Each structure stands twice: as structure tokens, then as C-alpha cells.
Amino acid sequence: MILKQFYLSCLAHASYFIGDEQSGVAAVVDPQRDTDQYIAFAKEHGLKIKHVFLTHLHADFIAGHLELRDRAGAKIYLGASAKAAYAFTPLRDGDIVEFGRVRLQTLETPGHTPESISILVYDLNAGETHPQAVLTGDTLFIGDVGRPDLRAALGWSANDLGGLLYDSVHKLLALPDPCLVYPAHGAGSLCGKSLSKETVSTLGEQRRTNYALQPMNKEAFIQVVTADQPEAPAYFTYDAVLNSEERPTLDETLARINPMTLDDVVALQAIGAQILDTRDAGEFASAHLAGSINIGLNGQYATWAGTVLDREHPIVVIADPGREHEAATRLGRIGFDHIVGYLQDGLFSLKARPDLTLTTDRLSAPFAAEVLSSPEPPLAVDVRTPRERNQKSIAGSLGIPLNHLTENLEQLPHDRPLLVFCAGGYRSSIAASLLQSRGFRRVSEIAGGIVAWEAANLPIQSAPALS
């Protein structure tokens, strides 16, 4: 038996390839939407992907089940409680899919979602009585359990799903301690609040160390797992629904994206297109197309794009030449398929049009401190989360989390300079570009954010002065 984990760091997403060399058959569990790596791995090992499983209808990414169906002829499997517009085989407790010496057995484990399942993996050459691993989807993470509050927009209360999750967790706790636990996400995912950076563990280790698996009654469990969950981006509900629908494949979507001239880009911008500049924050600050939004490819690109951009207006990408396909693919992973093109030759196209070019000042932390102590200082705007801000902040700063910036613009003065900062500079560049696109002309950033501020031994307060 082959059991391989594929880990996509930018979305903190784990998928699994399970193959049987004797029969030449393979299955993929929770695949990402761009499926080339699974096809290549199968070919390398002389296997055919005949089965594709979703442990649930994911909210934070678009799965590649339709891509593997169309490319490899794979049959799709979902939990029996799932409803989908495409053909699938429903799986109930105890249902088995077996190929060669591999057995995959279903456990219905609702709670993160109503249709969630876990998959027991048996290598029959090693024995038939105990599973070697369990693929837990978003029911059980390393160090955490799946949050039960992401289906509120679809009619499910967090308390109801939390009660189901309690029962599901105890179903998993009946497995033997040596059983390997392979979840669908790791640290950085918003599908839980305390996920470990580790991507595999054992049931015994989780029984000892996972806060949510400690002895408690159902009411206490619901209270602890629903408290202090991070705010989920708006696209989560959209993705959960899209994962249940028939839709174009990623290849079909990418085939529609073509290079565009600067004149064409500006014309689209004038009628509402979103211009997404995917370069690093420093490059963006040096020069960028007026009105463009900076979300760099070297950070949590898809998550922030899905948070600050909308699905109603087309997107045009500006990227370093050669990275346009990556920019479009990573947006496709969250179902943002409304990219209409990319600026041909990237920012080089702007060299002859200085009238369309803006810059953003990035101040060193010591210089920012001087400016803030001047007689007419800018307003410092902290775009970190409330939790980060409560731990440490800059005196006199105003806290507006980046994911709520555009809905709180009335709090910001147009007649006073704004100095934006975050933890390290990634989010502040997004924020500064958003502010510039909304008509704020005197916008600058603290280069390196709070990290640079502390490194310069500048004063930090433990509680914010403004909120």
C-alpha cells in the first residue's frame, strides 16, 4: 500500500493519495483543484486513480473531485448526508471501498459539517483487525477539532453541530492508540483555532495532548469548541456551496485567461474591474497602477484575495512575468474564476505612462516613530486582528482589522495622513492599496510592522489606546 500526503502550505491543506500496487488502483482524498501532481504520481507508480473522496464539502478551498472525475474517470464519494448536483456514491457508517490489498472504511463523523466523514485505511497485508490510519478531514486536527460554526449561513447552528461533533470525536476515540491521524488541514487554516504545525500524529498522542479530547461532558465541549474561533472569510460559504455543484474545471477556467494591453486593462478598470497586483509589497510600493490592490503571491494570497476582493466584478492580474498562471491557479483554488486576463509584460507596461503610476512610502520604524511624535502626526492605523492588538500595540493607534477595513472607512479622515501597519508588512500593503483605491491620497506604511518596531526598541503598550 502507498499512502502519501500532499501538503499545500499556502492554504494549510492536506490531501491524500492511497494506492495498491498489486491491483494498480488508487484513490485520492480531499484533492486540491489543480490535480496534475496526483496524475503524475499515479503515472510514476503505474496506478490509475479510480476513486476520489471528499470528507466533507470544504469551505476554504474548491476540491478537485470534478477534475479527477473528468481527467481520470474517477468515481466520486461523499458522506451519505451530502447533497450535490453531480453523481456521487453516498457513504454510510461501515461502508467499504476495497481495491487489491487496500480497504477504505467509512465512519460518519458529522459536526464540522453535517455530511462529514472520516476514512479508516487498512493495509490488509499488515492485518485486517486494526486500521493503520484514519483520514479525519476537518473532524479531528492535530491539536484541535473542526469548528462547528461555519454552516450558520446554511441553517445549522454552532451548538447543534457542536453536539454532533462531540459524538463524532468519541467515535474516533474508540480507535486504537497506534492509529495514525491524518487531517485535512494544519496550522494556518481558519477551519479551527489551535491547529498544530504537525501534519500527522497518532490517536494516542491526540488523546493525551489535544485540548478538545480531554474528559468533559457535551455541554462543556460545545462551549470550549465554539469559543474564540477566528472570523471566517465571506467566501467560505460560497466555496462550500460550489463544492456541491457541477462547475467548469480549473483547466477550462484557465484557458479563458489571456494577456491584455495596458489600454484594455485601464478600460476595464474604468467600468469596475478589480486590478490585482500580486508582486511583493516593496515592489508594489515603488510603483503600481493607480487603483490596483496589492496581495502578494508570497503570503496568504488566496485567503486575502477571497477576503478583500468580490465575486461580482472581473479581476485583472498584474504579476511578475512568468507568474501569471500561478496567480490565476491559486485564485481558482478558492473558486475565484472571474479572472478575465493579465497585464501583458507586467509593470513594464507602465514605464511609458507615469500619469497612471502611484507609489507608497514605506517608513522605517525609527522614522515612523519620529513622524508620529511630530506636532501634526499622521493617524496610525493598525490592521491586525483584535487578538494581536490586545497583546501589543502602538500608543495612539486606531485598530481596524484588515478584513473589516472597507466597511469602516468612515472612521478615517481624508484631511490627515494615514500610517498603516500590521505584524510584518504583508497586510499593511494590502490595506494601503485599498485605501489608495478608495481615494485616500496620503497613505504610508511602517516597513516591517510591529516586528520592526520592537526590533528598534520602540515603546509598545499591552492594551490599545483606541479601538
Residue 153: band (very low, low, confident or very high) from pLDDT cuts 50, 70, 90: low
Report the percentage of the chain scoring pLDDT > 70.
Answer: 99
Residue 283: band (very low, low, confident or very high) from pLDDT cuts 50, 70, 90: very high
In this prediction, residues 443-449 reach a mean pLDDT of: 97
| Residue pair 432/443 in contact by the 8 Å Cβ criterion | yes
pLDDT at 150: 83
Residue 413: band (very low, low, confident or very high) from pLDDT cuts 50, 70, 90: very high
Residue 292: band (very low, low, confident or very high) from pLDDT cuts 50, 70, 90: very high
Cα–Cα distance measured from residue 244 to residue 241, given in angstroms and rounded to the nearest whole number: 5
Over 90: is that where the pLDDT of 119 sits? Answer: yes
Closest alpha carbon to 456 in 377, 388, 361, 366: 366
Closest alpha carbon to 200 in 176, 217, 184, 221: 184
Closest alpha carbon to 53 in 68, 34, 71: 68
Residue 464: band (very low, low, confident or very high) from pLDDT cuts 50, 70, 90: low
pLDDT at 232: 84
| Residue pair 16/28 in contact by the 8 Å Cβ criterion | yes
Distinct helix (H) and strand (E) counts, the chain: 15, 24
In this prediction, residues 103-123 reach a mean pLDDT of: 97
pLDDT digits (tens, 9 = 90+) for 324-339: 999 999 999 999 999 9
In this prediction, residues 269-291 reach a mean pLDDT of: 97
Sheet of 180-183, strand order: 96-99, 102-108, 117-123, 133-137, 180-183, 201-202
pLDDT at 439: 94
pLDDT digits (tens, 9 = 90+) for 169-219: 999 999 999 999 999 999 888 887 878 899 999 999 999 999 999 999 999
pLDDT at 187: 87
Cα–Cα distance measured from residue 350 to residue 53, given in angstroms and rounded to the nearest whole number: 46
In this prediction, residues 115-132 reach a mean pLDDT of: 96
The C-alpha cell at 87 is 453523481
Strands (E), 63-179: 75-79, 89-91, 96-99, 102-108, 117-123, 133-137
Residue 302: band (very low, low, confident or very high) from pLDDT cuts 50, 70, 90: very high
Cα–Cα distance measured from residue 413 to residue 400, given in angstroms and rounded to the nearest whole number: 14
